[in-house]
């Protein structure tokens, strides 16, 4: 969510710039950064650029590419922010009813925004076909009560328990016509569950993936609690990095029994692996920006991160690439072998300049 994050350290309030930068880094790939780097394979195809292009595409079924880690990172950051946001609202004297109303309105706004590009009345199985924003809204809504009412140990136990039970159910519960432990698009337990809601059509973010999305937000909330603690910055960064490394290893080993699958399934191994990388990235950004104080380089990402939901929604209804052609088509015609890079760069630059304009004028659209 586009929420300003404040950290109370000693008697002063210190903004965690690393969270805005990490959110911007994540959104960078969504709004065109991936397309720009993938175009390098067309400019100069070689082993490295082709491997890079492959990593910037989703895996069709089992396995994980870099592209498959982008959305979980966004959910994870929402979770990191939650303890800060709730603590700030408690400090303002907001009661429980106000907190619930606030989360409900946010969730509804996200579901509606996610549904607008396809037409609100066109969905036969709304809101599951409302895309990523609708899925974010659902996951956020179900995650908030856990963060409000439960201590971090209880949340950690719930996440671990769900992921283990989901794994056991997937390998033991027979799917009609396929049996138990089948991990194909048609035969997996999650695919069958989605089919009960969405007439057999498989969607990347549907009913079966929502509990796993909630778990990712709760993973993030645990990291947020750690960052809010009174420990030193170095210890916080080290703790995040160690837990992240352990999660990456655990997810990799778990995949031997329960393959890493994002599409539809959002398997336990995939969730664990994705949260591990999210923790490692959070540790890196926090260490470099907030602990070591190297901030200037992060400005590019902060501009994006401060209006992440804004640009995600706008690019679904505005064709920035076509608008960008008006400015860079002439350059493209005279750029020789670099032609494949020009149009993606133009679209990305146009989006960033719009966000920079909003940032400079302190215009932040927050839900």
Render pLDDT for 152-204 as a digit per residue (tens, 0 to 9): 999 999 999 999 999 999 999 998 888 888 888 888 888 888 777 665 455 56
The span from the CA of 264 to the CA of 189, in Å, is 10
Mean pLDDT computed over 195-223: 79
Query: Who contacts 235 (Cβ-Cβ below 8 Å, separation ≥6)?
Result: none
Specify if 125 maps to a domain.
Answer: yes
DSSP letter at 117?
G
Under the phi-then-psi rule, with left for phi > 0, alpha for psi from -120 to 50, and beta for the rest, what region is 266? left
Specify if 271 maps to a domain.
Answer: yes
Name the average pLDDT for the chain. 87
What residue numbers bound the domain in which 19 lies? 6-360
Residue 127 has pLDDT above 60, yes or no: no
- Chain segment 291-333, per-residue pLDDT in tens: 999 999 999 999 999 999 999 999 888 888 888 888 887 787 7
Lowest-pLDDT range, 61-65, 113-117, 211-215, 348-352?
113-117
Specify if 1 maps to a domain.
Answer: no
Q: For the chain, where are the alpha helices, taking DSSP H only?
A: 17-28, 34-38, 40-43, 47-55, 70-91, 96-115, 131-149, 152-172, 189-197, 210-228, 233-254, 268-285, 299-305, 308-317, 320-333, 339-360
Q: How many domains does the chain have?
A: 1
Residue 250 has pLDDT above 50, yes or no: yes
Q: Note the pTM of the prediction, 2 decimals.
A: 0.90
Mean pLDDT computed over 62-85: 95
Specify if 147 maps to a domain.
Answer: yes
Specify if 367 maps to a domain.
Answer: no
pLDDT computed for residue 12 by the predictor? 30
CA 144 to chain CA centroid, nearest Å: 16
Specify if 366 maps to a domain.
Answer: no
pLDDT-above-70 percentage for the chain: 89
Select the more confidently predicted residue: 140 or 127.
Answer: 140
- pLDDT level of residue 216 (50, 70, 90 thresholds): very high
Buried b (16+ CB within 10 A) or exposed e, 195-226: beebeeebbebbbbbbbbbbbbbbbbbbbbbb
Specify if 186 maps to a domain.
Answer: yes
Specify if 365 maps to a domain.
Answer: no
- pLDDT level of residue 255 (50, 70, 90 thresholds): very high
Tokens 């950004």 identify what position?
Answer: 285
């Amino acid at each position: 969510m586009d929420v300003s994050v404040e950290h109370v350290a000693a008697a002063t309030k210190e903004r965690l710039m690393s969270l805005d930068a990490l959110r911007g880094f994540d959104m960078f790939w969504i709004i065109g950064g991936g397309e720009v780097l993938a175009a390098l394979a067309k400019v100069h195809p070689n082993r490295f650029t082709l491997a890079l292009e492959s990593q910037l595409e989703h895996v069709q079924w089992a396995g994980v590419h870099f592209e498959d880690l982008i959305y979980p990172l966004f959910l994870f950051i929402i979770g990191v922010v939650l303890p800060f946001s709730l603590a700030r609202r408690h400090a303002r004297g907001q009661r429980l009813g106000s907190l619930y109303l606030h989360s409900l309105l946010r969730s509804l706004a996200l579901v509606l925004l996610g549904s607008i590009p396809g037409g609100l009345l066109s969905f036969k199985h709304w809101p599951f076909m409302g895309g990523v924003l609708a899925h974010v809204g659902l996951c956020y809504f179900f995650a908030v009560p856990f963060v409000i009412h439960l201590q971090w140990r209880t949340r950690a136990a719930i996440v671990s328990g769900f992921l283990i039970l989901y794994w056991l159910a997937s390998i033991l519960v027979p799917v009609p016509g396929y049996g138990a432990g089948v991990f194909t698009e048609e035969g997996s337990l999650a695919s069958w569950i989605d089919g009960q809601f969405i007439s057999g059509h498989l969607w990347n973010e549907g009913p079966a993936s929502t509990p796993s999305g909630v778990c990712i937000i709760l993973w993030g909330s645990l990291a947020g609690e750690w960052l809010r603690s009174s420990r030193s910055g170095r210890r916080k960064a080290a703790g995040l990095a160690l837990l992240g490394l352990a999660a990456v290893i655990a997810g990799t080993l778990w995949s031997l029994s329960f393959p890493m699958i994002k599409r539809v399934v959002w398997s336990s191994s995939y969730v664990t692996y994705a949260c591990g990388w999210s923790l490692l990235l959070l540790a890196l950004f926090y260490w470099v920006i907030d602990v070591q104080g190297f901030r200037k380089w992060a400005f590019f990402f902060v501009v994006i991160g401060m209006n992440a939901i804004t640009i995600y929604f706008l690019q679904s209804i505005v064709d920035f690439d076509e608008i960008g052609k008006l400015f860079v088509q002439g350059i493209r015609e005279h750029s020789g072998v670099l032609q494949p890079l020009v149009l993606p760069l133009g679209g990305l630059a146009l989006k960033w300049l719009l966000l920079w304009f909003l940032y400079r004028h302190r215009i932040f659209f927050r839900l």
